[in-house]
Amino acid sequence: MAIRPARVSDYRNAVALYQLLNPKAKCSVGSFRSFLDRRNQYVFLAEDETGQVLGLIEWVVWPEVPAFPYPVCFIQNVIVCPDHRRQGVGTALLNHTSKWAQERGIRILHAQTDKEGNEAGQSFYSRNGFEAKSLGMYRML
Ligand SMILES: CC(C)(COP(=O)(O)OP(=O)(O)OC[C@H]1O[C@@H](n2cnc3c(N)ncnc32)[C@H](O)[C@@H]1OP(=O)(O)O)[C@@H](O)C(=O)NCCC(=O)NCCS
């Protein structure tokens, strides 16, 4: 397995992965390009030796936030193709991000997953050393 930065030409694979989280997810080549070009935002893909995409990880770096004395890496999504789950792909993506962040002086990884209905997501993060420290809340507007 190899992990590499996503390219604009990966957008179909990326949308297919995002649709696993939200069936209404959609984006054009142009909007995926803008997304990848956004400052401090990163998308990496895992692929097998044939080039088949197995999963993705997406994160944002907050370089300076008043609440923390160091940059923070916020993992927004980790998504693995259903046929390749429970084979270490998600963990490999997370380890890649962790190493990437450490090399840049980042000391904290944040992640979030649904409180209910995503036992896999919760178990995945706790298995990888994440602790539940905060309560995420939202309000529809
Ligand atoms: C969560 C997800 C990324 C895990 O990816 P994965 O490649 O299957 O994870 P790994 O194989 O590295 O598994 C590592 C650990 O996570 C936990 N885990 C993964 N899938 C699980 C499941 N279905 N049920 C319970 N625990 C699970 C286990 O502790 C597992 O270790 P084990 O296999 O030794 O028991 C994957 O299930 C997925 O894409 N889910 C949909 C998207 C999502 O909810 N992402 C997380 C929130 S953004």
Token couple for 16: 């297919």
- Nearest ligand 1 atom to alpha carbon 91: 12
* Whether pLDDT at 133 is above 90: no
Alpha-carbon Rg for the chain in angstroms: 15
Please report, as a single letter, which amino acid is at residue 33. R
Residue 132, in any domain of the structure: no
Token couple for 85: 């789950």
Residues with CB under 6 A from ligand 1: 20-21, 77-80, 85-91, 113, 118-121, 123-124, 127
Q: How many domains are there within the chain? A: 1
* Whether pLDDT at 16 is above 90: yes
Cβ pair 63, 71 in contact under 8 A: yes
Q: HSE-up of 23 (CA within 13 Å, CB side)?
A: 0
Overall pTM surpassing 0.85 (yes/no): yes
- Nearest ligand 1 atom to alpha carbon 77: 48
Residue 134, in any domain of the structure: no
- Nearest ligand 1 atom to alpha carbon 79: 39
What does the pLDDT look like over 20-33, one tens digit per residue?
Answer: 999 999 888 999 99
Residue 62, in any domain of the structure: yes
Residue 141, in any domain of the structure: no
Local confidence band at 68 (pLDDT 50, 70, 90 cut-offs): confident
- State residue 65's pLDDT score: 77
Token couple for 38: 């956004």
Arithmetic mean of pLDDT, 120-136: 92
- State residue 135's pLDDT score: 80
The percent of residues in the chain predicted with pLDDT above 90, rounded, is 77
Q: How far apart are CA 84 and CA 53, in angstroms?
A: 10
Residue 86, in any domain of the structure: yes
